[in-house]
Amino acid sequence: MTDWRTAATDALAAAVADDDSRLGCLLTEAGEHLGWLLASRPPETVAALAVPVAVHRCLTGGALPSHGLLASAAATYLALDVLDDRMDGDAPAFWGDRGDPEIMVGVQLLLVTATQVVGADTVPQRAVRLTQLYRETIAVVADGQLRTGEPLTASTTPAEVESRVGARSGAMLAGFAELAAIAADGSPSDVASARAFGYELAVARQHLNDVTELVSERTTDLRNRTATMATALALQGLPIEQRESLVERLRRAATDPSDRRRLVAEDLARAIGEVCALIHLHLARARTHARLLSDHELGHDGLDRLIEFTAAPLRR
């Protein structure tokens, strides 16, 4: 079976300009970063690619998505990843020596490329449907990106955080899972299950990432006052008059490692445990939809691996 990681990097290289121009070099650099990433880390890490591959294989008995869909997912992953880094004030994963103008143009080029190629290699009617769905997905994800930028306040609720995570991460993987199911000629029921699988998995992954960052040495979310599930659950568990004080302590903890450790061990410990349970509930839903997709008896190992990749770190 063709290794999808090689297929994805080849597909992206074929989709972008192959010349020595400044823009061509930018896109080549991005593609090289993706190749390095897929070669050096578990492939499940790049869920924007791993999810559509797993869904397509499940519905077709093992066939990879078209080069167009692979290139589109790869370009979108790269564009949103570097955009995320810039919005968070982190060093970008690639294009580190490029200025903002080049990065902004590079992101535009990647997203335009992704839109152009998502429906390539398929019949015209399906190509139109894939392109339309891709545009709708990106519009929702972009709006979700802006919403996740709204800072944590004393009145931020867990339901608001869940909604923001769903609009950003959830919409992204739901969209690519749906694109793969349509490309695989899945039934309406398959398409709905694929979409739901992508959504539930994405929300679980985002919550896991956020608690991982909270207990690690990374301080991006605290520095940016990002509203995460653990902080929202902790706020909700406090009397109203104590919530502002916790928000202020979280802000200070971004620059004070000892205060950060104390917060995690004392004030946020219960909320972190509650987030872990929430992650498992989302994964239960993802498992259900994976099983519904596997009614074709074509196997769903790839879907299971994605779920296990998220569940395993939380097991004793």
Partner 1 sequence: MPVDPERRAGYDQLRERYLNDPDFRAAVAADPTGALEGVLGPLTPEETQAVADITATPRSDDELVEHIRSGGVGSW
Residue closer to partner 1 (CB basis): 21 or 157:
157
Instruction: Point out which residues bind partner 1 (CB under 8 A).
Output: 41, 44-48, 77, 80-81, 84, 157-159, 162, 169, 172, 189, 192-193, 196, 205, 208-209, 211-212, 215-216, 233, 236-237, 264-265, 269, 272-274, 276-278, 280-281, 283-285, 287-289, 291-292, 309-311, 313-316
Residue closer to partner 1 (CB basis): 88 or 256:
88
User: Could you tell me the smallest distance in angstroms from the CB atom of residue 67 to partner 1?
Assistant: 20
Q: Give every CB contact of residue 310 below 8 A, 6+ residues apart in sequence.
A: 201, 204, 205, 208, 279, 283
How many Å separate Cα 1 from the centre of its chain?
Answer: 26
Instruction: Report helix, strand or coil for 149.
Output: coil
* DSSP, res 41: S
User: Could you tell me the smallest distance in angstroms from the CB atom of residue 190 to partner 1?
Assistant: 8
User: Could you tell me the smallest distance in angstroms from the CB atom of residue 164 to partner 1?
Assistant: 13
Residue closer to partner 1 (CB basis): 78 or 122:
78
Residue 183 contacts residue 126 (beta carbons within 8 Å)? yes
The secondary structure element, H or E, covering residue 240 is: helix 240-253
Instruction: Report helix, strand or coil for 88.
Output: helix
User: Could you tell me the smallest distance in angstroms from the CB atom of residue 300 to partner 1?
Assistant: 13
The residue count of the chain comes to 316
Residue closer to partner 1 (CB basis): 122 or 230:
230
Residue closer to partner 1 (CB basis): 66 or 310:
310
How many Å separate Cα 13 from the centre of its chain?
Answer: 22
User: Could you tell me the smallest distance in angstroms from the CB atom of residue 287 to partner 1?
Assistant: 4
Residue closer to partner 1 (CB basis): 240 or 316:
316
Distance CA 303, CA 310 (A): 11
Q: What values do phi and psi take at 151, rounded to 5?
A: -70, 155
The strand ranges marked E within 137-181 are none
User: Could you tell me the smallest distance in angstroms from the CB atom of residue 18 to partner 1?
Assistant: 25
